[in-house]
Amino acid sequence: MSKRIIVIGGSAAGPKAAARAKRLDPSAEVTIIQKAPEMSMASCGYPYFVAGVFNNRNALISTPYGEVRDPNFFVNTKGIRARTETEVTAIDRTQRTVTCRDLKSGVLDQLSYDKLIIATGAKPRKPPVPGIDLEGVTTLQSMRDADFLRRIRDEGAVKKAVVIGGGLIGIETCEALQLSGIDITVIEMLPQILMFLDWELAEILENHVRSKAANVITDVKLAGFLGENGRLTAVRLENGTELPCELAVLAIGVIPNTDLAQAAGLTIGATGGILVDEHLRTSDPHIYAVGDCIELVQRITGGKTRAPFGDLANLEGRVAGENAVLGDSVTFPGTFHTGICKVFDFNAGSTGLSEGKARQEGFNVATVINASLDKPEFMGAKLLISKMVVDADSGRLLGVQCVGPGDVGKQIATAAMALLGKLTVADLVNADLPYAPPFSLAIDHFIATAHLMENKLKGRLNGIGPVQLKEKLDRGETPFLLDVRTPDEFDMMRIGIGETLIPLGDLRRRLADLPQDREREIVCYCKISLRGYEAAILLQAAGWKNVKVLEGGVMAWPYRREK
């Protein structure tokens, strides 16, 4: 008798699981049940459809060769039965059946399964505030939401909008609407946007968002929505501020859609996602779960986490589909939380642990910030600013963050594979990465960051981050701040924190212009602190004992500059 596989959910993980099961066991009877009208939606593409980066809506639900992935596609091409606009209302684990309701006709029926795969995804988080049901308040979670926002863009009637939430979706939505000519304000209740980054890198991105005429307000909570005649007119904040607008997009995260699983008595994990083992099997041996509705293992800490990312959903679906037809032969190891997003002309990515998270987990943390180019200047170089986090005891890489207009994706992909290999700084400093001027510097930015970290761990680089330096200044401490750039560079752009300009080429003959107390703290820097490092070595050789280098230099300074 053919094995009967039912998949609940037809977005990303579900169709991948179904396709994998059918490929490995062509005799299996595979059925996908999808509540929405569409299937296999490229939901990460919604902001770009809204922005007008592409105009063909079907591109979000089509194969690479342009065929729409609808029920006909699944049955004709895959041999998989797909039922859209159909809701699973109950799972009977004893009888191994699911009860379904056709959302158009209301007709109920039952389907039997040998193995069930739950891929019910996540629901947008909605705060319990007044006015949330007003017309003009939306999310960007579904094709329907994307269609609504695209109509707003195309009609051009909305002049002001507020995005609530400064995470990935919030910032991508901010860009999409701003590019449509809408005046945007982003509201974030936490002290920074993009919480997967440490503050100093997130602040650089926040400054960039502001430079694109989008306002950002952090550290303030939403109080509610105001309206007239059922339509949104303003967003009210807890500090009393009212922001007039005709559109508000809620982007404050998602929660696992576990209603069916809970009703069926499946175990829910501590993070709120469905508990699964390494085979993605739930507490019922006949039921698997995948995608945004589950919790995973964090591969560095071993703890449980949630990671609602489209790429992981596809990988999980592949594993569950194979196990459903062949037995528990493959495993899914968890996540490093690798991610990347576009922020106007900048990119932002991370993998592994941030400094803050690593310290929370009890690691003896060492960090370094590197600002440098992604390729030679003569090949159209763009800036990258990276922060590397390592375990100071073992030298093992714990995480990397990278922002800037340069090739962030390459940096984060390299770092993710280094995490997978449990590599140390000693491994990274001589990594054999590809080099040619159109693609990289002779010493790639990633390897250069590892060099800085090696120098720091060995005591050859006494680095200080911008946050630490600013804290010193705010406490009233007065290190001697030495800018070793050229006068032209200094006139064009400077931090303005009481620094003294002595170009590196003049430093040897101007040592008398420095504090003669050899114990006095001196902080050296330049545009990216390469010359700052050279200056520090020179001063140490001349007898100064407390010389530091401002990591990342002027380009990584996240605070207001004088110029």
Provide the annotated active-site residues.
Answer: 44
Cα distance between residue 213 and residue 236, in whole Å: 21
Mutual orientation of helices 13-24 and 310-326 as an angle, nearest 10°? 30
* The two three-digit tokens of residue 8, written as one number: 């609940």
Give residue 194's Cα distance to chain centre: 7
The answer to whether the Cα torsion of 352, 441, 537, 558 is positive or negative is: negative
Catalogue the E-assigned strands of 147-259: 160-164, 183-188, 215-218, 222-228, 231-237, 242-244, 247-250, 254-256
* The two three-digit tokens of residue 290, written as one number: 């995948």
Rounded to 5 degrees, what angle do the CA atoms 106, 108, 111 make? Answer: 145
* The two three-digit tokens of residue 77, written as one number: 């091409």
- Dihedral-angle region of residue 498 (phi above 0 means left; psi in -120 to 50 means alpha; beta otherwise): left
Strand order in the sheet with 522-525: 463-464, 547-550, 522-525, 480-483, 500-501
Cα distance between residue 57 and residue 62, in whole Å: 9
Q: Mind giving me the DSSP string for 509-523?
A: GGGGGS-S-TTS-EE
* The two three-digit tokens of residue 379, written as one number: 């090949």
* Number of helices (H), then strands (E), in the chain: 15, 30
The enclosing H or E element of 206 equals: helix 199-211
Asked if 288 and 280 count as a contact pair (C-beta separation under 8 A), the reply is yes
* The two three-digit tokens of residue 537, written as one number: 């070595």
Q: Tell the residue number behind the tokens 């959903």, with chain if given.
A: 313
**Alpha helices per DSSP H over 327-424:** 355-360, 408-420
Cα distance between residue 159 and residue 145, in whole Å: 19
Question: Which amino acid, 221?
Answer: K
